């Protein structure tokens, strides 16, 4: 697969633009998957996929033959997703999520009993999870998604974000701490 | 008994801890830590992304169709005949001339001057490193001072700050790697801390608000970092002065 990718890249650089279409077809699904995990929005994920392959094409002459195209395009996707998150954060004047009120949450959860309330609790957790994720900085969010959802190692996260491994690890710690602060009371009460 | 910190528990959860067996033993022995770890596990266990929407097999083709209009084909690299003789002769003549001038210069230098003390290349390298590091620390210190006062200055104070942070970030990575190789833990730790702050400032969205600045100041302890950088600068300046004194002494 890797060698095939490199052969296609050489064709593109030799002037065969359509060879890049085969690379897009081959990798677009996996790029979409990671873009959706980060943005949690279908339209944004589609935008990230398009932007990733556009940027990838423009930077293709700088591609190192020793690298893996999948890893390389994945890293570009991370940066595109980061840009989308930054843009959204800049456009959001008011905070998206309401401040967490542990007392209120406790009342909501304690009132629930078995059965359908379980569903309500899951919905409550989901709403809180989304709000908590919104509170993370883009770097923390990407580091957490890669570590927790994509099961990537600290070294891979650091390479994708272009930072030191220790910085990547700290970003994951801060993300978990913030999520814990937002969600722990709700979970304990449940 | 030393309890596990939150960071250690998170590392343990993701199986990234160096002393895994030790942490496991502690969790079996300590109820308090075991309970905290269980809560952390439950919390992280419930954090999953919503189901990923399915994209059909034509998705890749659709993406390609949407972007291909914006792409210009690469121009194939033309093979050049390097040994095209008039050009080759010209280059060879220039190289010969340069080599002759170099050799003549060396001979003249040997004949007419005798350096009392040859500069040690290691010392020269050290002076250059100290100079650029001092400059980097100086710029970082100014950025931190601006950052610590930025919250009070209003909304648009961050724009030059972010541009400066982006420039400093790439330099800082090189100095940190160099400090790690030189086995200088104090400098390495400070540069690592600085890198995290620069990263947050550089990657913050446009129009960094006062709240964002306050958060970075608080979460990353920028006041403490500023103090660290000032101490390091003093140290580097002293080393620089000593290196200059040694050089002057050697030249006398």
Its ipTM equals 0.76
Give the confidence band of A9 by pLDDT, cuts at 50, 70, 90: very high
A-facing residues of B in 168-197 (CB < 8 A) are: 173, 176, 192, 195-196
Q: Answer whether residue A104 shows pLDDT above 60.
A: no
Instruction: Find the residue in A nearest to B206 (Cα).
Output: A90
| String of DSSP letters for A39-88 | H--HHHHHHHHHHHHHHHHHTGGG--TTS-HHHHHHHHHHHHHHHHHHHH
Model-level pTM? 0.53
Q: Answer whether residue A113 shows pLDDT above 50.
A: no
> Are the beta carbons of B67 and A53 separated by less than 8 Å?
yes
Lowest mean pLDDT segment, chosen from A70-74, B92-96, B160-164:
B160-164
State residue B120's pLDDT score.
Answer: 65
Residue B230: exposed, middle, or buried by beta-carbon count in 10 A (0-12, 13-18, 19+)?
middle
Tell me chain A's radius of gyration from C-alpha atoms: 20
The 8-class DSSP code of residue A35 comes to: H
Q: Answer whether residue A109 shows pLDDT above 70.
A: no
State the maximum Cα–Cα separation within chain A, in Å, rounded to a whole number.
67
Average pLDDT, chain B: 80
Q: Which own/partner pairs from B144-151 qualify as long-range (CB within 8 Å, at least 24 positions apart)?
A: B144/B197, B144/B222, B144/B225, B144/B226, B144/B229, B145/B226, B147/B197, B147/B201, B147/B213, B147/B216, B147/B217, B147/B222, B148/B217, B148/B222, B148/B223, B148/B226, B150/B210, B150/B213, B151/B210, B151/B213, B151/B214, B151/B217
Token couple for A63: 């591609």
As a whole number, mean pLDDT of residues B187-195 equals 87
Least CB–CB distance from B195: residue in A163, A174, A179: A163
Nearest chain B CA: its distance from A163 CA (Å) = 8
- Its sign, for the CA torsion A178, A182, A185, A187, is negative
CA dihedral B228, B234, B238, B244 (to 10 degrees): 110
Q: Answer whether residue B251 shows pLDDT above 60.
A: no
Residue A25: CB atoms within 10 Å: 17
Say how far apart CA A177 and CA A175 lie, in whole Å.
5
State residue B65's pLDDT score.
Answer: 93
Token couple for A10: 């050489």
State residue A98's pLDDT score.
Answer: 45
State residue A99's pLDDT score.
Answer: 46
As a whole number, mean pLDDT of residues B147-151 equals 75
Give the confidence band of A186 by pLDDT, cuts at 50, 70, 90: low
Give the confidence band of A96 by pLDDT, cuts at 50, 70, 90: very low
Give the confidence band of B115 by pLDDT, cuts at 50, 70, 90: low
Least CB–CB distance from B43: residue in A20, A166, A180: A180
Backbone angles phi, psi at B206, to 5 degrees: -55, 145
State residue A114's pLDDT score.
Answer: 47
Give the confidence band of A13 by pLDDT, cuts at 50, 70, 90: very high
> Are the beta carbons of A86 and B73 separated by less than 8 Å?
no
Closest by alpha carbon to B174, among B195, B145, B160, B198?
A: B195
Report which listed range, A70-79, A94-103, A118-127, B78-87, is most confident.
A70-79
């Amino acid at each position: 697969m890797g060698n095939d990718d490199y052969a296609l890249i050489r064709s593109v650089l030799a002037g065969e633009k359509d060879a890049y279409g085969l690379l897009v077809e081959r990798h677009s699904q996996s790029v979409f998957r990671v873009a959706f995990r980060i943005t949690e929005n279908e339209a944004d994920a589609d935008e990230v996929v398009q932007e990733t392959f556009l940027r990838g094409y423009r930077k293709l002459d700088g591609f190192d033959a020793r690298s893996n195209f999948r890893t390389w395009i994945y890293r570009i996707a991370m940066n595109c997703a980061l840009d989308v998150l930054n843009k959204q954060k800049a456009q959001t004047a008011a905070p998206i999520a309401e401040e967490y009120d542990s007392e209120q949450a406790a009342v909501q959860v304690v009132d629930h009993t078995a059965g359908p309330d379980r569903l309500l609790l899951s919905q409550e957790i989901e709403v809180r999870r989304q709000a908590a994720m919104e509170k993370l900085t883009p770097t923390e969010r990407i580091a957490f998604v890669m570590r927790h959802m994509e099961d990537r190692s600290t070294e891979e996260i650091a390479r994708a974000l272009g930072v030191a491994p220790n910085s990547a690890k700290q970003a994951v710690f801060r993300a978990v701490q913030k999520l814990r602060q937002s969600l722990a009371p709700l979970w304990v009460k449940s | 008994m030393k309890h596990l910190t939150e960071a250690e528990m998170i590392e343990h959860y993701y199986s990234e801890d160096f002393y895994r067996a030790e942490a496991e033993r502690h969790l079996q022995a300590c109820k308090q830590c075991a309970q905290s770890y269980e809560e952390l596990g439950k919390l992280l266990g419930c954090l999953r992304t919503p189901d990923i929407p399915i994209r059909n097999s034509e998705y890749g083709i659709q993406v390609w169709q949407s972007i291909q209009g914006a792409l210009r084909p690469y121009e194939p690299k033309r093979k050049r005949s390097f040994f095209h003789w008039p050009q080759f002769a010209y280059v060879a003549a220039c190289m010969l001339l340069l080599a002759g001038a170099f050799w003549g210069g060396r001979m003249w230098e040997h004949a007419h001057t005798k350096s009392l003390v040859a500069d040690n290349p290691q010392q020269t390298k050290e002076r250059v490193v100290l100079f650029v590091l001092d400059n980097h620390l100086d710029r970082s210190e100014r950025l931190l001072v601006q950052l610590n006062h930025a919250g009070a200055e209003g909304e648009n104070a961050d724009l030059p700050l972010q541009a400066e942070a982006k420039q400093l970030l790439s330099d800082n990575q090189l100095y940190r790697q160099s400090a790690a190789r030189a086995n200088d833990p104090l400098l390495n730790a400070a540069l690592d801390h600085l890198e995290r702050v620069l990263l947050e400032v550089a990657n913050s969205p446009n129009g960094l608000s006062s709240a964002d600045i306050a958060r970075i100041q608080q979460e990353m302890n920028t006041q403490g970092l500023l103090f660290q950088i000032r101490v390091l600068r003093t140290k580097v300046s002293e080393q620089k002065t000593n290196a200059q004194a040694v050089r002057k002494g050697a030249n006398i």
